[in-house]
Structure 1
Amino acid sequence: MSKITINQLHMALYEANSIMLTVHVRPDGDAIGSMVAFYEALIAQGKTVHMVVDDIIPERYSFLSYIDQIKDVAYYEANHVSVDMLMVLDASTYERIGRVGALFSAPIFNIDHHISNSEFADHLYLKPEFAATGEIITDLCEQWNWPITESMANALYMAIATDCGFFKFSNTTANTLKMASLCVAAGARPNVISETIEAVSAARLELTKQVMQTIAFYKDNRVATIELSPEVMAILGDDTDGFVDIIRNVDTVDVAILLKGESPNRTRISLRSKGTDVNAIANHFGGGGHIRAAGCTIETSIDEAKSRLLEVIK
């Protein structure tokens, strides 16, 4: 692995003729927005570009341009393509791209902002001070004088906004706001994006009422948990956005924990905080992320996973 500069990244992209873009499994707004925007930017530079994700693309992102160009792994297993570069966006470990890595023998490049990045790629462009990979892509376009179209602007604004809680989280910096401003100037429509991303169905609200019954507080109300049982997860799939914010916004809470039961003996954890380094907590269980937002998976039940987490949190 070698960390590369912005100039080295630019040269590598200049020399590559065909590029495969991918992001992490369970793709979020930052991953999808960054990918479709970078796809459009690279196409404009005359590159042959493909997009693949080893997962289902959430319906809420269907308003973005070029979303229909994203293929699943099965497509490329049946239709092999040769590329000069596998560009991984917004993924901090090789495992997070699922089966994609095994499909291509090209050098792996990684553009990411996670402080927990495992440095798996052959060439890494890492900006942990940036709130989102979308912020990085916007910055690259600005520095390289690559035009940001209206469709790119919408995708990049969504990428940035969703990864910093629509500019409410502590990872929001002056540069975050500057990059978002560039997107708005290029045609992004913040109201349309927020209304689309945050829209809630009546059925979802009914389910939220049920989930809120699982809320519990610990350690003098500094730690709060909320649970999604395997039965609830079967209904939600990976559409779990917003649940952790219910408890994160409680005035006394520093650490908010969302426990997602993938099965009776496997629990995925999302951690958010106002002060505690939750990346360190996630690392304890083989996960990672950011200081204020991280995640991990514990191979046990929700109750046991909660118990183990509370033992680690001081």
Structure 2
Amino acid sequence: MAIITKEALKNALDEAQRIILTVHVHPDGDAIGSMVAFYEALSNEGKEVTMVVDDTVPAKYSFLAQVAHIKQPSEVLDWQADMLLVLDASTFERIGKVGSLCKAPIFNIDHHISNSQFADSLYLCPEFAATGEILTYLCDSWGWPITPSMANALYMAIATDCGFFRFSNTTEQTLRMGALCVANGAQPNIVSEHVEVTTAARIEVMKEALQTIQFFKAGRVAIIALDEALMAKVGDDTDGYVDLIRNVDTVDIAILLKAVDAHTTRVSLRAKVTDVNAIANQFGGGGHVKAAGCTINANIQGAIEHLLAVIA
């Protein structure tokens, strides 16, 4: 593994002709926005690019240009490439089957402080709020045109990873890159309308989820739990659930638990003060200081007990 500069990254991209572009499983707004924007940027540079994700792309992102070109691994007929470019993924496991199917040298552009440095070449900017922010910066630095469709995708990537510029990872640079996207044609209202859209069925599930809220550690820790039955109803679209508890006045750590099966629970952690990346690390996960995730090999009650045992 080698940490590379933006100049070295640019040289590698210039030399590569066939590029396979991927992001992490359970793709969020930053992953999808970054991928479709960079797909367009690389295509405009004359590259032959294939986007592939080992997961389903949430329907709410389908308003973005280029999303229809995203393939699943079973749809890729030729895995030969000069480069496997991984965006917004901090570990090799997070890209699913793509990692074993594509044998090209791996380049990784990421902003997670917990990055495991799995790639052959890593461009890491943990001070950036989103991978989309990094890509906006790179395109601007390299003089690559940011088209209106790219701008929309990059704006979504940035905005969704910093809570639409409300979270503590929002910096002057974040705002500057968001403004650059708007200057190049991004439509914040259109992005918000699609990303924040909900359904009556989802509201019904949210009503049930509210009944699961528990407070611990004198109200400093709040947990909302989606069991297998609730997960079957909501699918993997759990955006916003942790926000139901993160803004409670006494809460420092907000935790969303999502049952995978009777023995596995996925965990999303958000914090105002505590380093939740350190908590997630204890279970093989990671992310950012104020936002992280992991998977615990236990049912929901077991996951609660494990988490409370390591939270001071």
Q: How far apart, CA to CA, are the structure 1 residues paired with 2:272 and 2:47?
A: 42
**Counterpart in 1 of 2:302?**
304
Q: How far apart, CA to CA, are the structure 2 residues paired with 1:308 and 1:103?
A: 35
**Counterpart in 1 of 2:63?**
63
**Counterpart in 1 of 2:18?**
18
**One-letter code aligned to 1:26:** H
Question: Structure 1: which 5+ runs fail to align?
Answer: none
Q: How far apart, CA to CA, are the structure 1 residues paired with 2:69 and 2:14?
A: 22
Q: How far apart, CA to CA, are the structure 2 residues paired with 1:102 and 1:162?
A: 29
**Counterpart in 2 of 1:31?**
31
* 1:187 aligns with one of 167, 185, 188: 185
**Counterpart in 2 of 1:102?**
100
**Counterpart in 1 of 2:249?**
251
Superposed displacement of residue 237, structure 1: 1.6
Q: How far apart, CA to CA, are the structure 2 residues paired with 1:239 and 1:202?
A: 14
**Counterpart in 2 of 1:270?**
268
Superposed displacement of residue 81, structure 1: 3.6
1:126 partnered with 2:108: no
Q: How far apart, CA to CA, are the structure 2 residues paired with 1:55 and 1:201?
A: 22
**One-letter code aligned to 2:235:** G
- 3-state SS of paired residue (1:40): helix
Q: How far apart, CA to CA, are the structure 2 residues paired with 1:64 and 1:159?
A: 11
* 2:82 aligns with one of 81, 84, 88: 84
Superposed displacement of residue 13, structure 1: 0.3
Q: How far apart, CA to CA, are the structure 2 residues paired with 1:81 and 1:116?
A: 28
**Counterpart in 2 of 1:172?**
170
**Counterpart in 1 of 2:205?**
207
Q: How far apart, CA to CA, are the structure 1 residues paired with 2:39 and 2:259?
A: 34
**One-letter code aligned to 1:31:** A
Q: Deviations over 1:25-62 (max 9, x none)?
A: 00000000000000000011111111000000000000
* Paired residue total: 312
Superposed displacement of residue 119, structure 1: 0.1
Q: Deviations over 1:118-149 (max 9, x none)?
A: 00000000000000000000000000010100
Q: Deviations over 1:72-100 (max 9, x none)?
A: 01112xx1242100000000000000000
Superposed displacement of residue 105, structure 1: 1.5
What TM-score, normalized to structure 2? 0.99
Q: How far apart, CA to CA, are the structure 2 residues paired with 1:236 and 1:100?
A: 26
Question: Structure 2: which 5+ runs fail to align?
Answer: none
What is the root-mean-square deviation of aligned Cα atoms in Å?
A: 0.6
Q: How far apart, CA to CA, are the structure 2 residues paired with 1:168 and 1:307?
A: 31
**Counterpart in 2 of 1:45?**
45
Q: Percent sequence identity over matched residues?
A: 65
Superposed displacement of residue 306, structure 1: 0.4
Post-superposition, which runs of at least 4 consecutive aligned residues in structure 1 deviate over 6 A? none
Q: How far apart, CA to CA, are the structure 1 residues paired with 2:270 and 2:21?
A: 29
* 2:156 aligns with one of 141, 152, 158: 158
Q: How far apart, CA to CA, are the structure 2 residues paired with 1:84 and 1:106?
A: 6
Q: How far apart, CA to CA, are the structure 2 residues paired with 1:39 and 1:73?
A: 17
Superposed displacement of residue 235, structure 1: 1.6
**One-letter code aligned to 1:216:** Q
- 3-state SS of paired residue (1:87): strand
Q: How far apart, CA to CA, are the structure 2 residues paired with 1:236 and 1:203?
A: 8
- 3-state SS of paired residue (1:243): coil
**Counterpart in 2 of 1:280?**
278
**One-letter code aligned to 1:150:** P
What TM-score, normalized to structure 1? 0.99
